[in-house]
């Protein structure tokens, strides 16, 4: 049997800190840690993996945090994430919806899941988050911590 | 002339492209497997201190960073004056445990996530079903075992190197992190994750699956993309058995005649050249004395099983004998047998991990050694996909002045081009219509090699499948996207 998880929920920070604002997901988790956030388990990912389906099957709540190139007026948004069998044809891109679908199909698990998208602006091969993205991240962080 | 382009090739690691040129009657004129991205690690690592190499070069790849980490570490060991056998025994064992965990998880990823859809569903099923999600729906128990086997290997990596991707274990002359009994027991007692004994049982089960599959599908598996080639791999220095961490280089030709006779890995430059072609960033290694036409070799599981005298672990050795009998005891040049060979290696890695986990010396504090400083280091290991060579030269200020990397997929460049040519000539040639199923067969042939094109070069951005059809005047007449 697999070990019981520590918390009821898990937060995935997804991205690459070597690509400027793509690192928003990781930075978000860093900030949560620095503020003593301990309601959820925290996991860093360059990209989601198929085995994450097994991991989330043991939680009641899942939050996927990722940077977004979309126009987002408020700087961030949350939306409910529903299972979907949509699958890209490489191992390099696996959507949160697909992970939920696999958790449901393989493990009969239906955690409540949300996506937190934070708007980013710069995506070059450099370290460091842009000032505008940092403002968006702090708004998202305040929202989560006060939710 | 018509031109068929598969760009990128899917369910492989990284970005590749296939071009098949047809004449007005759909007769194949020629075909190419291109690597279209450029990376340049060998150049930009110059000037860095040598001890950074194992950390920097593993960034070549998110799938097999451990292989690059260890190959570079073996090279850097030499720079601090140590040959592989000079490291402390605990350090050697911890590195091997990391290496077997890496190969175990990488092979599991390839078989369950990338290759099994082709075997379970066939060529003709729609692409939206022919993937790991389709496997999860139709074969959930198989998919669950695949997930947990990959996870087991990743957890081994995490224990030894601190994290699953781009962790750090090796330092010049050893390893930096001690393993605790609690960490070790996690893999033995089966309380928190399925135990190593379960991994061995599941490895046996999946080998039984592939044996039954071969018995039912022998015609196409025996014929598909079968062609003569050389085979190259490391073997144990004393026994000639399968060796994945440190051994001598052995190569054989398609008939099993020795073409490279157990030479020390450090002497690789005496025996290999690298050819270049203007249509690919990937080089073409070959044995000097046989020349560019005859000197190329397959590497990876099929080649390793072909070149070795045996396997040191009993269950995998039994399966090797069954495998060898399937080709009448002759050298196996049947590309699709690569999957079977890969699963035998999964079993071997599981057996080796059990042996190492049950060895209390991996809990030792005796982790590093130092010797007399040298200016050159060569590290060669068997990565999941084949023979991996790292070679560094340093100056008196400890800066790297030269770096040469020959990665597994580079050795397989010529073999993969032969595979594409085989499908072009035997499946696509002279057909009135080119179907999606035919194009997928090109990918199936490439996929058998489990190429890691990220290692060979680079891969960035989205990778949709796009097939473009050009007429004989070079005009685009049709595009298909998945």
DSSP letters, B50-72, are GGGHHHHGGGG-SSSHHHHHHHH
Q: Do you know the residue count of chain B?
A: 482
- The pLDDT-based confidence of B407 (bands split at 50, 70, 90) is confident
Q: Residue B194 has what pLDDT? A: 96
Alpha-carbon gap, residue B421 to B333, rounded angstroms: 15
Q: Which of A85, A90, A107 sits opposite B463 (nearest CB)?
A: A90
Q: Which of B11, B127, B140 sits opposite A90 (nearest CB)?
A: B11
Q: Which of A91, A93, A106 sits opposite B136 (nearest CB)?
A: A106
Whether B160 has a pLDDT exceeding 70, the answer reads: yes
Average confidence (pLDDT) over B261-279: 91
The one-character DSSP state at A92 is: S
Mutate to test the interface with A, among B136, B139, B198, B464 (most CBs of A within 10 A): B136
CA distances from B417 to A109, B32, B443, B481 (A): 44, 6, 11, 23
The one-character DSSP state at B240 is: -
Q: Residue B20 has what pLDDT? A: 82
- β-strands A112-119, A76-80 pairing: antiparallel
Phi, psi of B378 (to 5 degrees): -125, 125
Whether B468 has a pLDDT exceeding 80, the answer reads: no
- The pLDDT-based confidence of B139 (bands split at 50, 70, 90) is very high
Contacts with A, B 88-147, CB within 8 Å: 109, 113-114, 127-128, 131-133, 136-137, 140, 143-144, 147
pLDDT tens digits along A84-97: 987 665 545 689 99
Question: Which uninterrupted H or E stretch holds B32?
Answer: strand B28-35
Whether B116 has a pLDDT exceeding 70, the answer reads: yes
Whether B391 has a pLDDT exceeding 70, the answer reads: yes
Which residues make Cβ contacts (< 8 Å) with residue B397, sequence separation at least 6? Answer: none
Domains of chain A, residue spans: 11-146
Whether B138 has a pLDDT exceeding 60, the answer reads: yes
Q: Residue B1 has what pLDDT? A: 65
Q: For all residues of chain B together, what is the average pLDDT? A: 88
Q: Residue B107 has what pLDDT? A: 96
Under DSSP, is residue A91 helix (H, G, I), strand (E, B) or coil?
coil
Whether A4 has a pLDDT exceeding 60, the answer reads: no
Under DSSP, is residue B252 helix (H, G, I), strand (E, B) or coil?
strand
Alpha-carbon gap, residue A48 to A22, rounded angstroms: 14
Q: What percentage of chain B reaches a pLDDT higher than 70? A: 89
Question: In this structure, which topology does domain A11-146 adopt according to CATH?
Answer: Rossmann fold (3.40.50)
């Amino acid at each position: 049997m697999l070990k019981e998880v520590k918390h009821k929920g898990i937060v995935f920070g997804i991205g690459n800190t070597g690509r400027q604002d793509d690192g928003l997901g990781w930075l978000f988790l860093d900030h949560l840690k620095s503020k003593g956030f301990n309601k959820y388990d925290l996991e860093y990912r360059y990209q989601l993996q198929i085995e994450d389906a097994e991991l989330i099957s043991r939680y009641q709540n899942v939050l996927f945090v990722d940077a977004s190139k979309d126009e987002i007026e408020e700087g961030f948004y949350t939306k409910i994430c529903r299972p979907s069998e949509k699958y890209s044809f490489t191992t390099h891109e696996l959507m949160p919806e697909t992970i939920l679908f696999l958790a449901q199909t393989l493990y009969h698990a239906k955690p409540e899941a949300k996506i937190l998208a934070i708007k980013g602006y710069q995506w070059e091969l450099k370290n460091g988050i842009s000032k505008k993205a940092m403002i968006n991240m702090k708004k998202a962080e305040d929202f989560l911590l006060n939710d | 002339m018509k031109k068929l382009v598969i760009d990128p090739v899917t369910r492989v690691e990284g970005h590749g492209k296939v071009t098949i040129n047809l004449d007005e009657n759909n007769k194949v004129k020629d075909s190419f497997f291109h690597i279209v991205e450029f990376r340049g690690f060998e150049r930009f690592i110059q000037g860095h201190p040598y001890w950074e190499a194992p950390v920097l070069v593993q960034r070549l790849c998110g799938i097999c960073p451990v292989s690059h980490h260890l190959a570079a570490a073996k090279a850097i060991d030499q720079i601090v004056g140590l040959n592989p056998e000079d490291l402390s025994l605990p350090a050697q064992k911890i590195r091997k445990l990391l290496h077997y965990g890496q190969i175990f998880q990488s092979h599991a990823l390839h078989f369950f996530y990338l290759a099994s859809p082709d075997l379970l569903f066939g060529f003709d099923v729609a692409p939206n079903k022919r993937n790991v999600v389709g496997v999860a729906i139709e074969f959930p128990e198989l998919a669950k075992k695949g997930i947990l086997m990959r996870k087991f290997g990743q957890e081994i990596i995490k224990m030894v190197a601190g994290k699953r991707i781009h962790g750090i274990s090796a330092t010049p002359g050893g390893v930096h992190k001690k393993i605790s009994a609690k960490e070790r027991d996690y893999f033995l007692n089966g309380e928190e994750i399925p135990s190593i004994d379960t991994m061995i049982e599941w490895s046996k089960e999946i080998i039984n699956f592939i044996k039954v599959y071969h018995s039912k599908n022998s015609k196409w598996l025996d014929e598909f993309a079968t062609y003569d080639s050389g085979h190259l791999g490391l073997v144990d220095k004393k026994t000639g058995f399968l060796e994945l961490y440190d051994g001598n280089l052995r190569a054989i030709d398609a008939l099993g005649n020795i073409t490279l006779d157990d030479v020390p890995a450090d002497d690789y430059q005496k025996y290999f050249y690298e050819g270049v072609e203007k249509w690919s960033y990937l080089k073409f290694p070959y044995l000097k004395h046989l020349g560019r036409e005859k000197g190329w070799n397959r590497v990876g599981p099929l080649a390793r099983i072909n070149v070795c005298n045996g396997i040191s672990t009993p269950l995998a050795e039994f399966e090797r004998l069954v495998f060898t009998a399937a080709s009448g005891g002759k050298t196996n040049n049947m590309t699709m047998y690569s999957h079977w060979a890969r699963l035998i290696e999964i079993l071997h890695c599981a057996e080796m991990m059990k042996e190492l986990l049950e060895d209390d010396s991996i809990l030792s504090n005796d982790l590093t050694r130092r010797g007399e400083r040298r200016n050159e280091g060569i590290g060669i290991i068997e990565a999941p996909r084949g023979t991996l060579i790292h070679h560094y030269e340093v100056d008196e200020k400890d800066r790297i002045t030269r770096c040469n990397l020959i990665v597994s997929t580079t050795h397989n460049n010529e073999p993969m081009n032969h595979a594409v040519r085989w499908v072009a000539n035997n499946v696509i040639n002279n057909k009135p219509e080119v179907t999606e199923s035919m194009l997928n067969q090109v990918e199936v042939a490439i996929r058998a090699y489990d190429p890691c094109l990220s290692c060979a070069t680079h891969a960035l951005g989205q990778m949709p499948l796009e097939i473009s059809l050009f007429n004989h005047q070079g005009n685009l007449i049709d595009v298909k996207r998945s």
